[in-house]
Structure 1
Amino acid sequence: MNLPRKLIAEFIGTALLLATVVGSGIMGVALADGNDAVALLANAAATAGALYVLIVLFGPISGAHFNPAVTLAMRLRGELRNGETAAYIAVQIVAAIAGVLLAHAMFDLPLIQPGTHVRTGLPQWISEAVATFGLLLTILLGIRHRPTAVPALVASYIFAAYWFTASTSFANPAVTLARSLTETFAGIRPDDVLGFVLAQLVGMLAGCAVAHWLKPNDAGMSIARADERPTDFKPR
Structure 2
Amino acid sequence: MERAESTVKLVDNDQLDLLSNQTESEGFSSGYDSTDVSDSESTTQHEDDNNDDVDDGVDLQCDVSGSHIKYQNTSALCDHLKYILSMPELCDVTFLVGPTKVPVHGVKAILSTRSRVMYQLILKNERGVAETKKSRKTRQSRLTIEVNKYQPEDFRKIVQFIHCGSVDVDSRSVAGLLCGARQFGLDDLKTACWDYVRRCVQTRPQSLTTIQRGANQYIHHRYGIKLFTKIQHLMTSSTKRAAAETAV
TM bin (shorter chain): under 0.3
Larger Rg: 2
Bigger fraction of residues in strand: 2
Greater relative contact order (Cα 8 A, min sep 6): structure 1 or 2? 1
**Normalising by structure 1, what TM-score?**
0.25
Bigger fraction of residues in helix: 1
